[in-house]
Every structure is written in structure tokens, then in C-alpha cells.
């Protein structure tokens, strides 16, 4: 290597440019460049300078590569896995996520906004990239378990979020009274590098890991969920929560004399939808009345900004984190029985075929006659002798009409190919100390289906109305699944003797619906439904309409829950501007400007809420099963991977039978048919198969349950079956 320092840097860049897909160690690079013993120190200085300038990178294995070799820099959000690698979800792109190996993640943490380059595009797999720069850190604080080694004055925090798979070092001055076994909130002071761990200081001690409520609070803080409203927001909520006045009612459709009910769960407090239903000849006159939250929450107000920031209410097993203060969500915005309430109504005339032959969207005022529960309405419709039929005899004819119309609407959706994933959700019962007393499948009865059918119809009707007006709007899109994933599903179900028709370059929802119908009532039904769901994309909000695949709907939006979802609130503002003649060029330009960011943010907040909800459910299931160690249960194989089999119990709890615990043989995994086969015995395990398992262990930190397969004659004493576990 001859020439100036800069010349030598160019020589190294040229060499790594030629070898860009083969990172080299310094020793290998020195051999290529014929670096003499006397020049090695200078060579190391040149390498160090290039790394510092971010022109080349060095991975954990000490190999160098050229950062710019792959060309265009792309930006996106990094999503880490617990195993060290991750994926980048690219900004403004429909392209698949880019795989990032642990060596190329530049110590990025889950949620960070990053800049990457593509380093390879393997055939049939995700593109692979390298992070070249962390643009913005998503996490300044982390929740975890504080651990101190012996009598050391410093400590470490093990993050609760498994996507943060590195301990955080806490120096002595950052411990601040934390003791071994306490849950803490840590402020990061350094994100670390290849040589050093991330560092932080304790800013809040949540309590001992076993203290009541600390487990859920840890999840709340780890997902950056808000825990309280600011004083300014609460004061404003108090000011606007005035009884409905004559001035409020001016210009609105007065529907207070209409027979009107709300139907919700027993413990629901934020009632944002009410129903009216009459019949005129063969046609049904259906009114879906939604709380007019926009009357109290203006876009640029403190309330509006807080609602936007939160994006959605979050429903955890022991608490609700509302999008709006309770003064509004449980008070003036809730359609409470016997009280005048402002609403935005979608009034539809539906014929005997379930077609909306006319509709009107109006600002109105209603007064709910009765607050009904799903349980009571289901009893009225399924039991002619029920007490509820006598108690609510004046409303029974309307409930019967609701049952009729619901069946018509469901049948119409089925004909067009709408997919109904009827999964049993988990209902977790806690005692006053937050301990789980019972876990069971959530009951989805005829009444829940009625409300679901009516809300779907209103959402579709409103979406189609505004699509054809060609105005800025918020849509709820569910895109067509990837052809490769659906092809894999079709290959798998072939093992059950069924086929699935895939059109050229597309799949129709009708085909997925037919597939699920084939398995209806069979042991494999829930499993095939899950596989089908996993083959699909996630629904998201967008300012552009692309339809809803799962519902087989050309137009869909979220109009019916403005108390708990910001997109619905945003839609109501657009609707009211249109109804009041305010949708001029200036307003159109305003919405066109803000909606892309509003929809992106709301989709992101929805994902955050879903993750927190899942984490609390997993945690409580682990806590519950820790009381059944060594007990045996009958379950069904719900998933098979190369590392083991997932078994689900009738109460929705799922655990893993790891391959290392399948000690009777060496088992090979056949991915194409989701099957484990013993190498010597030939014993096979397939999806949907009933098996008996013993609870081996639970891990509250990783929120996992480990099972072990047992034979009938290996049970300990009496059969502690799934009924005992419920």
C-alpha cells in the first residue's frame, strides 16, 4: 500500500467494493493488499478511520465490509426478535420487510427508525440488509428486572421486552435504591456498541416482581403506554362535559322518540353505539347511532392532541387505558340509558336480500330506552320461556327483527366470500389482588353477532358513500395475501384431502371461506383457521382505499367507535365538515396533508396496543399454569415447528413441547406437512392431533409454558383434565 493516507483509504474501499458480499477480517484484507509487517499499524489506523467515517463496517466476528456497496439507502422501522436478528419495515413501501442479521443491526433496538442498505437478495427469501445509521431512537426508557451480583454496588437490568435481548448495565450511581428482584424503569444513558453494553440509571422503582399489580404495570411502561392524563386535558374534559342543551340540538335530527337500545358486555362503561330497527313492508329501517365525540373533542384542542397521541384505548386484563378521560368516555360521550345524547347516525333501508337500497348520514340526538347486555339479548332470542322476555317484553319484537336481519346480512356476506374467523378469545377472571381465578373461552353468542353485523354494514355504507364523493377519507384496508403463503397453505391442506383453487396471480376470499367450511365442526377447524389467518396480511388504516380482503368488501372504514379509536374520530370530523357544507378547497387540502401521517400513526398505535394486550394475557396464563406444575391435561397440537410442538388446552392456554423434551426418539420436522416423525419408532405428530401433556415449567419473564408429552399410563394419580384447569 503506497501513497498518502487518503490514497490508502481509497485502495481499501476499492478492494471491499469488489468483495462486498464476502466480508473480510483485517488479516485477510492485509494479505490481499500485501501489507508488510512495518505497515500494519498504519493499516489499522486507516481501517479505524474508515469505520469512524462510516464508510466501512465491522461485525461481531471482526469482519469488514463496505457500507455503500449495496447502493441506495432506505429508511424504516427496526423490529427486533428475541433471538438477536430483526426486520426493517420500510417507509412508504409495499415491499416485504428486510432481514437484518445480529451482526448488521448496529445495536439498534426495537422500534428505532433506521437507515439501511440492501446487501443481498436471496432467491425465494427476504432481502437482507445492513443498518448503516440509527436515525431516531424509539426507546429512551426500558422496564426490567434489577439484578445485583453478590455484594457488588453496580447491577444489571434484564429487560421485560424480549426484543431487547441484551442486559443493561447500571453503574453504582444509577442504582438509586433498587434491590435484587425489583422491577424498575431505567433511563438509557448509553446505547452501547460492539464492545460495551447499554447503560442506564434507575428512574422509578415499581416494586418487587411478586407484588400485586407490578406485573401489569411493567407491561404498561415497557410499551410506553400513558398511565394518566395531564391536568390541562382533564380540566378541558371537565369544562366540555356539560348536559346537552337546546343550542347543542339545533339543526339535528331529533330521534329521541325512536325505540332505541345499546347492547354491550356486562362490564362495558363506554357505550358508543346504539341501535334502532323498524320494518316497513319487506324492508328493514336500521339506524346505527354513534356518539358524536367530535362535538366535545376538537382537532387542535388539548383533548384532541392527547387522543391522537394515544391513538386507541388499550384493554388489558385488569384495567383499561382509555383514549379519552372517563368524564367523556363514561359520561357525556357514552350513550347512557335515559339521557339525551348527541350522535352521528347512519340510517339505512335494507331489503329482504340484505342490500342497502338507500341510506342517510345525519347529525342527530337520541335517548336510549334500555341498556341491554349480550347475555340478556341472547337469552331472549334463544329461550322462549326466559325471564328476560318478560322483563323486556316491549323490546322483544325489535330484538326478533334484529335476529332476522342479522341472519340475512350474514348470509349475504357469506355469499360474496366474507371470511369469518371464529376464534375463542380468552376471558381471564381476576380476584381483588389481581390473581387469576379462571380462564375460559369468551362466549360469542347470537347477540354479539347481531351488533357485529350491524356495525359492519354501517362501516361499509359510510366508506362507499365517501369513496364516491372523492373526498379525503380514512379507510380500513386488508390487502390480498401473498401468493407464496397461500400456495404453502394449499399444499398443506392437500394432506387432508382438500384442494384450494388459486387463480393466476391472485387468491379470492371465497376460496378461503370454502376452505374453512370444509373443516367446520372438525377437530382441525381452529388450526386450519389459524394457518389461514397467519397466511394473510394485517389490516391497516390508509387514506387510499384498496378494499378489505377478509370481509370481501370493496369499501371499508371504522366509523362506529370514536370513544376508543382515533381513526373513527377523524372520520367523524370529515363527515361533519361535509354535512355542514364546510368541505371547501382549504379543508380538502388540510385533510390531504394530514391523513397519510394520521393513518400511519394510528396503525402503529393499534399494533402497540395489541402487543400490550397479548403480553398481559400471556403473563396471566403463565401465572395461572404455575399452579398446575406436574399436572396432566388433554390438549390439541396447535402448531409444529422445528423446535417443537405447541399444544392448546380447551381453555385457550398454549404451551410448547420442546424437541429436547421428546426423549423417546429423535424427531424430524417436515415443514411441508407440519408433522414431526420419530426417526426410529416412526411415531408421528400432526396438527389437530389430541395429545396428553404434563406441565413441566413456566417462565414469567419470557411468558412461556413448557409441556411434556405423557402416555395414558404415565399420569400421576387422578386425571387433572381441562375441566379442572378451567
Percentage of residues in the chain with pLDDT exceeding 70? 93
Residues 672 and 716: beta-carbon distance below 8 Å: no
3-state DSSP call for residue 221? helix
3-state DSSP call for residue 373? strand
**pLDDT value of position 390:** 93
**pLDDT value of position 726:** 44
More confident residue, 342 or 722: 342
Confidence of residue 671 (pLDDT cuts 50, 70, 90): confident
- Segment 288-301 shows an average pLDDT of 96
**pLDDT value of position 482:** 79
Neighbours of 679 (CB within 10 A): 10
**pLDDT value of position 464:** 97
* Site of grid cell 411493567: 218
Mind listing the pLDDT tens digit for each residue in 193-211?
A: 767 889 999 999 999 988 8
Cα-based distances in Å from 511 to 26, 128, 486, 487, 628? 56, 33, 10, 12, 42
Above 90 in pLDDT, residue 40? Answer: no
Residues 681 and 631: beta-carbon distance below 8 Å: no
| Among candidate residues 243, 241, 249, 246, the one with its CA nearest the CA of residue 366 | 249
Above 90 in pLDDT, residue 688? Answer: no
3-state DSSP call for residue 249? helix
Residues 642 and 672: beta-carbon distance below 8 Å: no
- Segment 9-21 shows an average pLDDT of 67
**CA 390 to CA 398: how far, in whole Å?**
14
Mind listing the pLDDT tens digit for each residue in 708-718?
A: 999 765 655 44
**pLDDT value of position 431:** 87
**pLDDT value of position 364:** 97
Mind listing the pLDDT tens digit for each residue in 460-495?
A: 999 999 999 999 999 999 988 877 778 777 877 776
DSSP H or E stretch at residue 208: strand 198-208
Above 90 in pLDDT, residue 574? Answer: yes
**Least confidently predicted of 91-95, 347-351, 381-385, 687-691:** 91-95
Confidence of residue 228 (pLDDT cuts 50, 70, 90): very high
List, as one string, the DSSP characters of 121-179.
--TTS--EEEEEEEEE-S-SEEEEEEE--TT-S-EEEEESSTTS-S-EEE-HHHHTT--
DSSP H or E stretch at residue 585: helix 585-625
Beta bridge partners of 656: 646, 706
| Among candidate residues 606, 610, 612, the one with its CA nearest the CA of residue 568 | 606
Mind listing the pLDDT tens digit for each residue in 581-606?
A: 999 999 999 999 999 999 999 999 99
Residues 667 and 678: beta-carbon distance below 8 Å: yes
Mind listing the pLDDT tens digit for each residue in 509-558?
A: 888 888 888 777 776 676 777 778 878 888 999 999 999 999 999 999 99
**pLDDT value of position 715:** 59
Q: Where are the beta strands (DSSP E) in 506-604?
A: 540-542
* Site of grid cell 379442572: 724
**pLDDT value of position 518:** 79
| DSSP designation for 104 | G
- Segment 660-689 shows an average pLDDT of 88
**pLDDT value of position 311:** 97
Above 90 in pLDDT, residue 443? Answer: no
List, as one string, the DSSP characters of 63-77.
EEEEGGGG-SEEEEE
More confident residue, 28 or 243: 243
Confidence of residue 636 (pLDDT cuts 50, 70, 90): confident
- Segment 241-245 shows an average pLDDT of 93
- Segment 645-673 shows an average pLDDT of 90
3-state DSSP call for residue 23? coil
Confidence of residue 720 (pLDDT cuts 50, 70, 90): very low
**Least confidently predicted of 118-122, 179-183, 356-360, 681-685:** 118-122
Pairing of strands 644-648, 632-641: antiparallel
- Segment 394-407 shows an average pLDDT of 97
| Among candidate residues 91, 138, 93, 97, the one with its CA nearest the CA of residue 115 | 91
Give the contacts of 42 (CB within 8 A, at least 6 positions apart).
8
Neighbours of 389 (CB within 10 A): 17
Above 50 in pLDDT, residue 722? Answer: no
3-state DSSP call for residue 563? coil
Give the 3-state DSSP-derived string for 637-686, with helices as H, strands as E and coil as C. EEEEECCEEEEECCCCCEEEEEHHHCCCCCEEEEHHHCEEEECCCCCEEE
**Least confidently predicted of 231-235, 558-562, 649-653:** 649-653
**pLDDT value of position 13:** 76
Cell reading at 366 = 337520541
Buried residues in 582-615 as b, exposed as e (16+ CB within 10 A): ebeeebeeebeeebeebbbbbbbbbebbebbbeb
- Segment 45-58 shows an average pLDDT of 80
Contacts 24+ apart (CB under 8 A), 187-196: 187/140, 187/141, 188/137, 188/139, 188/140, 188/141, 188/142, 191/107, 191/109, 191/134, 191/137, 192/107, 192/166, 193/107, 194/58, 194/60, 194/107, 196/169
**pLDDT value of position 639:** 84
Pairing of strands 370-373, 261-264: parallel
Residues 118 and 147: beta-carbon distance below 8 Å: no
**pLDDT value of position 427:** 84
**pLDDT value of position 520:** 77
**pLDDT value of position 60:** 63
- Segment 497-509 shows an average pLDDT of 74
**pLDDT value of position 119:** 82
| Among candidate residues 556, 579, 576, 560, the one with its CA nearest the CA of residue 568 | 560
Confidence of residue 18 (pLDDT cuts 50, 70, 90): low
Confidence of residue 719 (pLDDT cuts 50, 70, 90): very low
**CA 282 to CA 689: how far, in whole Å?**
48
**pLDDT value of position 182:** 93
Pairing of strands 253-254, 356-367: parallel
- As separate numbers, helices (DSSP H) first and strands (DSSP E) second, the chain gives 18, 34
Residues 405 and 277: beta-carbon distance below 8 Å: yes
Above 60 in pLDDT, residue 625? Answer: yes
Mind listing the pLDDT tens digit for each residue in 146-176?
A: 998 778 889 999 998 877 878 999 999 999 9
- Segment 604-630 shows an average pLDDT of 93
Confidence of residue 432 (pLDDT cuts 50, 70, 90): confident
Residues 186 and 201: beta-carbon distance below 8 Å: yes
**pLDDT value of position 142:** 92
Most confident of 117-126, 144-153, 420-429, 509-518: 144-153
Residues 481 and 537: beta-carbon distance below 8 Å: yes
Give the contacts of 483 (CB within 8 A, at least 6 positions apart).
502, 505, 506, 507
Residues 530 and 640: beta-carbon distance below 8 Å: no
More confident residue, 90 or 185: 185
Amino acid at each position: 500500500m503506497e501513497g498518502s493516507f487518503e490514497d490508502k483509504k481509497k485502495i481499501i474501499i476499492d478492494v471491499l467494493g469488489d468483495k462486498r458480499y464476502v466480508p473480510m477480517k483485517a488479516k485477510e484484507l492485509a494479505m490481499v493488499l500485501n501489507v508488510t509487517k512495518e505497515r500494519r499499524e498504519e493499516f489499522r489506523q486507516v481501517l479505524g478511520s474508515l469505520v469512524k467515517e462510516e464508510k466501512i463496517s465491522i461485525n461481531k466476528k471482526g469482519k469488514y465490509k463496505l457500507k455503500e456497496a449495496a447502493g441506495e439507502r432506505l429508511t424504516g422501522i427496526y423490529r427486533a426478535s428475541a433471538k438477536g436478528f430483526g426486520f426493517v419495515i420500510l417507509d412508504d413501501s409495499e415491499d416485504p420487510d428486510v432481514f437484518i442479521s445480529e451482526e448488521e443491526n448496529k445495536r439498534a433496538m426495537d422500534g428505532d427508525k433506521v437507515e439501511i442498505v440492501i446487501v443481498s437478495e436471496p432467491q425465494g427469501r427476504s432481502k437482507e440488509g445492513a443498518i448503516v445509521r440509527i436515525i431516531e431512537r424509539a426507546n429512551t426508557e426500558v422496564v426490567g428486572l434489577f439484578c445485583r451480583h453478590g455484594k457488588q454496588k453496580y447491577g444489571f437490568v434484564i429487560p421485560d421486552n424480549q426484543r431487547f435481548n441484551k442486559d443493561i448495565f447500571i453503574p453504582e450511581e444509577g442504582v438509586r435504591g433498587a434491590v435484587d428482584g425489583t422491577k424498575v424503569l431505567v433511563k438509557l444513558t448509553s446505547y452501547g456498541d460492539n464492545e460495551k453494553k447499554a447503560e442506564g440509571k434507575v428512574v422509578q422503582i415499581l416494586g418487587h416482581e411478586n407484588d400485586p399489580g407490578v406485573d401489569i404495570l411493567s407491561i404498561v411502561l415497557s410499551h410506553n403506554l400513558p398511565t394518566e392524563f395531564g391536568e390541562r386535558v382533564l380540566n378541558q374534559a371537565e369544562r366540555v362535559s356539560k348536559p346537552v342543551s337546546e343550542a347543542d340540538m339545533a339543526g339535528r335530527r331529533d330521534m329521541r322518540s325512536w325505540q332505541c337500545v345499546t347492547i354491550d358486555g356486562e362490564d362495558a362503561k363506554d357505550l358508543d353505539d346504539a341501535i334502532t330497527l323498524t320494518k316497513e313492508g319487506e324492508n328493514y329501517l336500521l339506524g346505527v347511532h354513534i356518539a358524536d365525540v367530535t362535538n366535545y373533542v376538537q382537532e387542535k384542542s388539548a383533548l384532541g392532541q392527547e387522543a391522537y397521541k394515544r391513538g386507541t384505548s388499550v384493554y388489558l386484563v385488569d384495567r383499561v387505558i382509555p383514549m379519552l378521560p372517563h368524564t367523556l368516555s363514561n359520561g357525556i360521550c357514552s350513550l347512557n340509558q335515559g339521557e339525551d345524547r348527541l350522535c352521528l347516525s347512519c340510517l339505512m333501508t335494507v331489503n329482504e336480500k340484505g342490500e342497502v337500497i338507500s341510506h342517510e348520514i345525519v347529525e342527530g340526538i337520541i335517548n336510549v330506552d334500555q341498556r341491554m347486555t349480550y347475555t340478556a339479548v341472547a337469552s331472549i332470542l334463544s329461550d322462549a320461556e326466559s325471564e328476560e322476555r318478560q322483563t323486556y317484553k316491549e323490546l322483544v319484537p325489535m330484538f326478533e327483527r334484529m335476529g332476522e336481519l342479522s341472519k340475512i346480512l350474514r348470509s349475504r356476506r357469506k355469499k360474496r366470500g366474507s371470511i369469518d374467523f371464529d376464534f375463542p378469545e380468552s376471558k381471564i377472571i381476576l380476584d381483588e389482588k389481581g390473581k387469576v381465578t379462571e380462564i375460559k373461552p369468551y362466549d360469542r353468542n347470537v347477540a354479539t353477532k347481531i351488533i357485529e353485523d350491524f356495525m359492519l354494514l354501517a362501516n361499509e355504507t359510510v366508506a362507499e358513500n365517501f369513496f364516491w364523493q372523492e373526498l379525503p377519507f380514512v379507510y380500513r384496508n386488508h390487502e390480498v395475501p401473498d401468493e407464496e403463503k397461500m400456495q404453502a397453505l394449499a399444499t398443506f391442506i392437500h394432506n387432508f384431502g382438500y384442494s384450494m383453487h388459486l387463480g393466476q396471480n391472485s387468491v379470492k376470499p371465497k376460496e378461503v371461506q370454502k376452505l374453512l367450511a370444509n373443516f367446520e365442526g372438525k377437530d382441525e377447524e381452529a388450526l386450519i383457521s389459524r394457518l389461514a389467518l397467519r397466511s394473510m396480511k394485517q389490516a391497516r388504516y390508509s387514506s387510499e382505499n384498496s378494499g378489505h380482503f377478509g370481509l370481501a368488501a370493496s369499501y371499508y372504514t371504522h366509523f362506529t367507535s370514536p370513544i376508543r379509536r382515533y381513526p373513527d374520530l377523524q372520520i367523524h370530523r370529515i363527515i361533519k365538515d361535509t354535512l355542514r357544507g364546510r368541505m371547501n378547497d382549504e379543508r380538502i387540502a388540510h385533510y390531504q396533508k394530514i391523513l397519510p401521517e394520521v393513518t400511519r400513526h394510528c396503525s402503529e398505535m393499534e399494533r402497540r396496543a395489541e402487543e400490550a394486550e397479548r403480553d398481559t394475557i400471556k403473563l396471566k396464563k403463565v401465572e395461572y399454569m404455575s399452579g398446575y406444575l406436574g399436572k396432566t391435561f388433554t390438549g390439541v397440537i396447535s402448531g409444529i415447528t422445528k423446535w417443537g410442538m405447541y399444544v392448546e388446552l380447551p381453555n385457550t392456554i398454549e404451551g410448547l413441547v420442546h424437541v429436547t423434551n421428546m426423549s423417546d426418539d429423535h424427531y424430524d420436522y417436515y415443514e411441508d406437512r407440519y408433522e414431526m416423525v420419530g426417526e426410529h419408532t416412526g411415531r408421528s405428530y400432526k396438527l389437530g392431533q389430541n395429545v396428553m401433556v404434563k406441565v413441566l415449567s413456566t417462565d414469567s419473564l419470557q411468558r412461556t409454558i413448557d409441556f411434556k408429552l405423557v402416555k395414558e399410563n404415565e399420569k400421576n394419580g387422578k386425571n387433572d383434565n381441562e375441566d379442572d384447569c378451567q
